[in-house]
Amino acid sequence: MRISISSIIVSLLLTLILICFLQLILKSKKLSQLIRTDFLLILSLPIFLRLILPVEFSNTRTIRSTVILPSLYKMGKKSFVVLSLFKIDIFQILILIWLVGIFVRLLFLSYNFFKVKKSLNSLFSSSKITKEIRLNDNGDRFTICKFNFNHSPFVAGIIKPKIFLPNYISNKDIERIILNHEIQHIKNNDLIKKLLLEFIECIYWWFIPIYTFKKQANLIIEMSVDQKVTENMNSNDYFQYVESLVSVSKAVNSKESVTKFNESGLVSNFTLSESSSLVNRIKFLLNEYDYKHTSKYILALVLLLPLLLTSTIFEPYYASPKKVVSTSSIKKSGNDYILKRGNHYYLIIDGNNSGEVSNLKDQSIRGLPIKNGE
């Protein structure tokens, strides 16, 4: 297993293709009626895995790039002298900028963590929130926190997660449905998944499509919970669940003021808030009534994508400067010829091997005889 500039470039190109395909599915009305949530979830896994492991393995098949990558490497290896002290090339400068960006983004992520923690502590010490302990149908204990300011329900806390419910949800049936949804988030460890997405965003901060993928992944997390909660519901309960989402959406959008707690970043990287994805979730739920799972064979093929994405890599191919010979030294005499060994060709000048030939149609070697060798 090896990481290189080529493996990173290929990984980002392949993930870009998959992100575009995922976006096409999510935005297309026709495709959204055909594609199921389990397919979206499985499709997002290769993107996630390839971003975490942009590597090439021992069984990776290498394809030679003779134009694009060699030109890119040649440009990247141009060096500059800094203050007459040391040399640095373009690749090293870009890597340095990349690392500095990662450090800055991690600082902001840490800042947001303490910001959310401070906001939650302020809530607990104020009269805007009340706490209670409840048991679900399986006897599991969950902390329920009710607040009287405007926001959709959310979950906060990775180690000891708490469910936050707004007071405007007064209907007991709707409250029960929403609680089941939030409890499913906790069971799925979705806050940990979201935190991993934040770290990936910090690492690939300069890769613009990563921000689209983050939104896609958050939406798919919500939709997979919707599917899990509703898969065994009858038609009445199913549409009551959809109605609960509509009620929350209307309640959030009808309020004109937003409290200082929301402005301070309470619902941030370390919480699971659903207000931004409610409309899309409602659309998918209406499309997925009478839910049918995607074929296991199709899901298996999609799961093979990570292997396919790591099975091939492009590497630059160019002659080493030490082996490059000027065309003026090729006299096309009896001592100059091209030696063929297997599938490889070598330039022999005055009886000496001057290096491998990558292009037999090169004008400088045209007319030279080709001899078979062992």
Q: How many domains does the chain have?
A: 2
Say yes or no: 275 and 333 in one domain.
no
Domain final residue, candidates 273, 297, 314: 314
Say yes or no: 163 and 68 in one domain.
yes
Say yes or no: 251 and 367 in one domain.
no
Judged by phi (left if over 0) then psi (alpha if -120 to 50, else beta), residue 367 lies in left
Residues belonging to the chain:
374
Say yes or no: 348 and 201 in one domain.
no
DSSP state of 56: B
Q: DSSP strand E in the chain: where?
A: 61-65, 79-82, 86-89, 129-135, 141-147, 154-156, 162-166, 271-273, 312-316, 337-341, 344-349, 352-356, 370-372
Say yes or no: 281 and 343 in one domain.
no
Domain final residue, candidates 297, 314, 331: 314
Tell me the C-alpha distance between 366 and 57, whole Å. Answer: 38
Domain with 339 in it:
320-372
Cβ count within 10 A of residue 6: 20
Helix (H) or strand (E) holding 39: helix 37-52
Say yes or no: 157 and 211 in one domain.
yes
Say yes or no: 104 and 156 in one domain.
yes
Say yes or no: 183 and 206 in one domain.
yes
Closest CA to 309 of 114, 45, 111, 69: 45
Closest CA to 307 of 50, 105, 96, 123: 50
Say yes or no: 20 and 141 in one domain.
yes
Domain final residue, candidates 314, 346, 364: 314
For the CA atoms of 308, 310, 311, 312, what is the dihedral angle to 10 degrees? 110
Q: Is 268 exposed, middle or buried (0-12, 13-18, 19+ CB in 10 A)?
A: middle
Say yes or no: 112 and 257 in one domain.
yes
Say yes or no: 186 and 254 in one domain.
yes
- Nearest 5°: the CA angle 211, 263, 118 is 95
Say yes or no: 295 and 338 in one domain.
no
CA-to-CA dists, residue 118 to 19, 109, 113, 128, angstroms: 35, 14, 9, 15
Q: Tens of pLDDT along the chain (374 residues)?
A: 677 777 888 889 889 999 998 999 888 877 766 777 888 888 888 888 889 888 776 666 666 666 676 677 777 778 877 777 778 888 889 999 999 999 999 999 999 888 888 877 777 776 566 667 666 666 677 888 887 766 778 888 888 888 888 887 777 888 888 888 888 888 888 889 989 999 999 999 999 999 999 999 988 998 888 888 888 888 888 888 888 877 777 766 654 444 444 444 444 444 555 555 677 777 777 776 555 566 777 777 777 766 666 666 666 554 444 444 444 455 555 677 888 877 778 777 766 666 677 777 776 677 788 888 65
